[in-house]
């Protein structure tokens, strides 16, 4: 009678350890669960964004917001996880004692990253250019013309049609430097439509005579 009872106690003890955040096994279990949920939520956001691309003409803000939401999902999942695990909670409390020195060091190290992020918000808000526009700016190669492919949290991706190269420009550069908009998105198609319309009018006028 004692043997089954012992197995039963061992089973309940193992299950309790498996779901106990204070136990290393439980901490790993919750870590896997939160990672899975974060990856799943990120995939859902990405799928919804791809579906939205078929219904939107301007993809600049959509792609920027998609990356921002995915980053926030992982950040929120980590914050909730760290608050549930006692060891991480105590570690965070310990780290707060040196937050003044660490904050200065991190602030200096992340200054360029934060400036690019803020500049990205500015570009999305004021929209001086859109995905698909052709812009001209000064790069280490000189004056370069490229097509805007995407706007991420830190960088703007351009495609140099002449040299067939990808140009990665920090958002702070795109926001603070002079950028010439040489061709707006859809301008070529609109111009072709005008030429076709003029040609049709001329043909109709000739037939009328």
More confident residue, 106 or 39: 39
pLDDT of res. 194:
30
Residue count of the chain: 209
The mean of the pLDDT values for the chain is 75
Under 8 Å CB-to-CB from 86, ≥6 apart: which residues? 21, 22
79/137 same-domain check: no
The CATH number for 172's domain is 2.30.30.520
Q: Which residue has the tokens 């290393």?
A: 24
Does 52 reside within a domain?
A: yes
85/140 same-domain check: no
Does 61 reside within a domain?
A: yes
19/93 same-domain check: yes
CA gap 75, 141 in Å, rounded = 38
Average pLDDT over residues 164-193: 74
The two structure tokens encoding residue 29: 């279990």
Given a cut of 60, is residue 100 above it in pLDDT?
Answer: no
90/133 same-domain check: no
Given a cut of 60, is residue 9 above it in pLDDT?
Answer: yes
pLDDT of res. 90:
67
81/143 same-domain check: no
State which residues form the domain around 155.
128-185
31/86 same-domain check: yes
| Axis crossing angle, helix 2-18 with helix 24-53, rounded to the nearest 10 | 50
Does 70 reside within a domain?
A: yes
CA gap 49, 46 in Å, rounded = 5
CA 186 → CA 16, 134, 166, 200, distances in Å?
61, 10, 21, 21
CA gap 2, 192 in Å, rounded = 88
């Amino acid at each position: 009678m004692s043997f089954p009872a012992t197995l039963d106690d061992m089973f309940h003890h193992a299950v309790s350890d498996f779901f106990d955040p204070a136990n290393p096994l439980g901490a790993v279990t919750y870590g896997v669960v939160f990672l899975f949920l974060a990856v799943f939520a990120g995939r859902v956001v990405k799928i919804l964004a791809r579906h939205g691309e078929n219904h939107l003409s301007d993809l600049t803000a959509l792609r920027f917001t998609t990356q921002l939401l995915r980053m926030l999902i992982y950040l929120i999942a980590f914050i909730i996880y760290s608050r549930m695990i006692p060891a991480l909670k105590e570690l965070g409390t310990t780290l707060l004692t040196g937050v003044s020195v660490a904050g200065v060091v991190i602030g200096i190290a992340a200054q360029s990253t934060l400036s690019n992020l803020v500049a990205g918000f500015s570009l999305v808000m004021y929209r001086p250019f859109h995905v698909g526009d052709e812009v001209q700016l000064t790069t280490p190669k000189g004056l370069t013309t490229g097509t805007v492919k995407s706007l991420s949290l830190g960088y703007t991706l351009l495609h140099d049609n002449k040299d067939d190269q990808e140009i990665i420009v920090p958002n702070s550069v795109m926001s603070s430097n002079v950028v010439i908009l040489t061709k707006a998105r859809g301008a070529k198609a609109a111009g072709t439509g005008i030429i076709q319309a003029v040609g049709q009018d001329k043909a109709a006028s000739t037939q009328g005579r």
